[in-house]
Amino acid sequence: MHLTVTGKQTDTGDALRRHVEASLGSILGKYFKTAIEAHVVFSKEAHMSRAEISLHIGRGIVVNASAAAGDTYTAYDAAAERIAKQLRRYKRRLRDHHAKAREPAEVSERARDYVLAPIAEESEEDAGSEEPEEDAGGGPTVVAEMSTELPNLTVSEAVMRMDLADAQVLLFRSRSHGELNLVYRRADGNIGWIDPELDPTRRTRRREA
């Protein structure tokens, strides 16, 4: 496993790196055996220390967790416990996924992922203007643009990936009918699933393609 430990306004010495390496090795040995790479970032938030852990444990599977505490070790240990809890929850499914990873990989689609600037609140002087502040193309200002995978998944697989990545939403192509689906976290703590109602013949054509 390739491990990187970095600090933002935080000192990360050899002792902290050894603690991280031993901790992640113990967690992975208990729940998943191996990982491709791990990134741990320590930073300061006012008087608190924050630890962010990102584990790439298999094809398309990323586990993220973060925590804040009064010192770096306590913050890291709390984030690591969340990682362990997630791996424990999906232990069986992850092992099945790991076994399937030996099979030839499917050709995955790519999608463009954009970060948009927030829309600024209008001042009284701007209230009378006809057009809001936008980029030259007529849309909101793009802060960043990147490529992301559009995986082919079942709904349960999509929920697992979203949960492990500590994400709020996941767009995927449904393995059952080939159309785009979306899962997301609801404010009430439940998971939402959007499955558009489309012409049945279109779904049939996609399955046959």
* Each residue's pLDDT tens digit, 159-171: 999 999 999 999 9
Where are the domain boundaries for CATH 3.30.505.50 in the chain? Answer: 110-120+136-208
pLDDT exceeds 60 at position 103: no
Task: Give span(s): CATH 3.30.160.100, the chain.
Answer: 2-100
Is the pLDDT at 132 greater than 50? The verdict is: no
Task: Tell me if the domain spanning 2-100 has CATH number 3.30.70.940.
Answer: no
User: What top-level class would CATH report for the domain 110-120+136-208?
Assistant: alpha beta
**CA separation, residue 179 to residues 161, 167, 194, 203 (Å):** 18, 21, 11, 7
Contact 182, 170 (CB under 8 A): yes
- Calculate the alpha carbon distances from 45 to 8, 54, 77, 81 in Å: 10, 19, 17, 21
pTM: 0.74
> If 0-12 CB within 10 Å is exposed, 13-18 middle and 19+ buried, where does residue 147 land?
exposed
Point out the least confidently predicted range of 59-73, 93-107, 190-204: 93-107
Mean pLDDT of the region 51-71: 91
